[in-house]
Amino acid sequence: MRVLQVCAEIFPLLKTGGLADVAGALPAALAQQGVDVRVLLPGFDAILADLTEVAEVATLSAPAGLQGRVAARLLYGRLASCAGVVAYVIDAPDFYHRQGGPYADAAQRPWGDNHRRFGLLGWVAAQLAQGLDSYWHPEVVHAHDWHAGLAPAYLRAAERALGRKLASSVYTVHNLAYQGLFPSGQFSDLALPEDFFGVHGLEFHGRVSFMKAGLYFADQITTVSPSYAREIQGGEQGCGLDGLLRDRRDQLHGILNGVDPAVWHPGHDKLLPARFNQGRFTGKAQCKADLQTQLGLAVDANLPLACVVSRLTSQKGLHLVTQVLPSWLERGGQFALLGSGDAELEAAFRALAQKHPQAVALHIGYDEAFAHRLIAGSDLIWVPSHYEPCGLTQLYGLAYGTLPVVRRVGGLADTVHDTRLETIDTDATGFVFDDFHPAALHHALNKALALWTRRSDWRRVQRRAMQQDHTWDGAAKRYLWVYRWAAGLTSSS
């Protein structure tokens, strides 16, 4: 089956969050399942620079509203840093060659022409389904998050105009809260049929919603965990789209993300000072000692070291952490954070680090290599999210024997099993709490500290955590099943 993955970022070339990790790992896992997979990406500098064996597929004659000053070209090649995946890249310098981030400028203001920049991405996906590349066309277009949300809409529009099916579409929600909303006046730039701007289409409270376009027009919808698939059908987490998601519940599937063992495996992670596995923990002890030294923390194997690796946004619930930290430190705990984002949170953590230099360390910024060393060298990783579609850092924690402390929500609920008397011999892999309240996190940390004093039990839970199977194989099989269903090749599970 020929499948086109459409997304805005891809690890290791361009990453703002877990979406890139998924986009980087899924193609190879699908290829293992026999899928003929290609990716379509905007031509950001890092992506163009990595493209090898480049050929020009076409000069694009996009609708006027999606044109920059210079006509865009569609390039074809292989991304050397992404295991040589075959890629189509949209070379549109007016849109993608900019100082700043992929979605916003250096001051975090969204680019004013985002509807055009990402409209073009969806439009090109539909062009490929119409045979823009005479050598290859997709049977399934798989679009990720709002950036690619218009792909199913353009596909539907082209099919209506031609009166025949071109390709099936699958849309994956990685985070329903980021919706790609634009003023209604920008709809005309997109050159979609007039009637698409309506309740039965991509209109959302008078605005254009790229997210709703994906949810409304795709043949099948997936999101990144079974729990999140349920949660977004309710008012609390539905971000105003829960009604539509309930209507489409028979086409909505929760498929957990995996861990790419080529990137995150403690046994052969070259970014670590020492490697380890479930049979040999000396390497982990060395990672911890190195980390404590590097961060200026007291170098002591007996002090439990907790970490957070995260975007600092309200989604991640980190104000709970600032509130429980004083008592964690009083009881001998250490804490290290890698992240950036919200200025108030940064300031709160900075104040704690200044007050407790031997016990709290802060690394503000984005640092892939340090994320590996931090997760490997810590004993616990805290992910107290308010909501979490899947979450990857708790999965990396499990793989590295760094026990996750998580809130029972979304993918966190689906991947971490609480440690209790009755689970310690069966399925305990971490610590789970319910209420979005510091007292609940505090209680979970009490349990973690209790286990910490029983080192052989700690080791048992650690080993079980490391044995969890979160490879991409299982996810790829499920996606393949959804593709088949979207393409009408199968009708039920």
Chain positions 142 to 201 lying near ligand GLC, rule: CB under 6 A, are 174-175
The answer to whether the beta carbons of residues 398 and 419 sit under 8 Å apart is: no
Task: Single out the segment in contact with ligand ADP by CB under 6 A; choices: 15-23, 52-60, 351-359, 435-443.
Answer: 15-23
Pick 18 or 43: Cβ nearer ligand ADP: 18
Task: Single out the segment in contact with ligand GLC by CB under 6 A; choices: 37-45, 244-252, 326-334, 386-394.
Answer: 386-394
Of 227, 233, 292, 310, the one binding ligand ADP (CB under 6 A) is 310
Task: Single out the segment in contact with ligand GLC by CB under 6 A; choices: 16-24, 149-157, 161-169, 334-342.
Answer: 16-24
Quick note: the x/- pattern for ligand GLC over 38-67, rule CB under 6 A, is: ------------------------------
Distance CA 482, CA 228 (A): 17
Of 10, 18, 214, 475, the one binding ligand GLC (CB under 6 A) is 18
Which residue is closest to ligand GLC by CB?
Answer: 18
* 109 DSSP 8-state letter: P
Of 259, 345, 376, 392, the one binding ligand GLC (CB under 6 A) is 392
Give the one entry of ligand GLC, ligand ADP, none that residue 22 binds, where binding means its C-beta sits below a cut-off of 5 to 8 angstroms depending on kind. Answer: ligand GLC
Cα separation values, 197 from 93, 162, 206, 213, 323, Å? 29, 20, 9, 10, 45
Q: Quote the least distance from Cβ 188 to ligand ADP, whole Å.
A: 33
Task: Single out the segment in contact with ligand ADP by CB under 6 A; choices: 162-170, 274-282, 365-373, 423-431.
Answer: 365-373
What are the two backbone dihedrals, phi and then psi, of residue 222, each rounded to the nearest 5 degrees? -130, 160
State the greatest distance between any 2 C-alpha atoms of the chain, in Å, as a whole number: 70
Q: How is residue 220 written in tokens?
A: 């099948």
Q: Quote the least distance from Cβ 287 to ligand ADP, whole Å.
A: 16
Distance CA 479, CA 26 (A): 9
**Cβ-based neighbours of 218, under 8 Å, separated by 6 or more:** 143, 152, 169, 170, 171, 251, 486
Q: Residue 200 class from Cβ within 10 Å (0-12 exposed, 13-18 middle, 19+ buried)?
A: exposed
Q: Quote the least distance from Cβ 238 to ligand ADP, whole Å.
A: 18
Task: Look at residues 263, 265, 286, 264 and name the one whose alpha carbon lies nearest to residue 274.
Answer: 286
Of 4, 22, 72, 129, the one binding ligand GLC (CB under 6 A) is 22
Of 119, 304, 391, 401, the one binding ligand ADP (CB under 6 A) is 391
Pick 195 or 469: Cβ nearer ligand GLC: 469
Contact status: 477 vs ligand ADP (CB under 6 A): no
Q: How is residue 191 written in tokens?
A: 């050159």
Quick note: the x/- pattern for ligand ADP over 314-353, rule CB under 6 A, is: ------------------------xxx-------------
Task: Single out the segment in contact with ligand GLC by CB under 6 A; choices: 5-13, 17-25, 337-345, 464-472.
Answer: 17-25
The answer to whether the beta carbons of residues 152 and 213 sit under 8 Å apart is: yes
Q: Report the chain's C-alpha Rg in angstroms.
A: 23
Q: Quote the least distance from Cβ 371 to ligand ADP, whole Å.
A: 4
Helical ranges in 257-409 per DSSP H: 282-295, 318-330, 343-355, 368-377, 393-399
Distance CA 389, CA 409 (A): 8
* 4 DSSP 8-state letter: E
Pick 159 or 346: Cβ nearer ligand ADP: 346
Sign of the torsion angle spanned by Cα atoms 310, 316, 320, 322:
positive
- Which positions lie near ligand ADP, rule CB under 6 A? 17-18, 21, 309-311, 338-340, 366-368, 371, 390-393
Residues that bind ligand GLC (CB under 6 A): 17-19, 22, 174-175, 224, 257, 388-392, 411
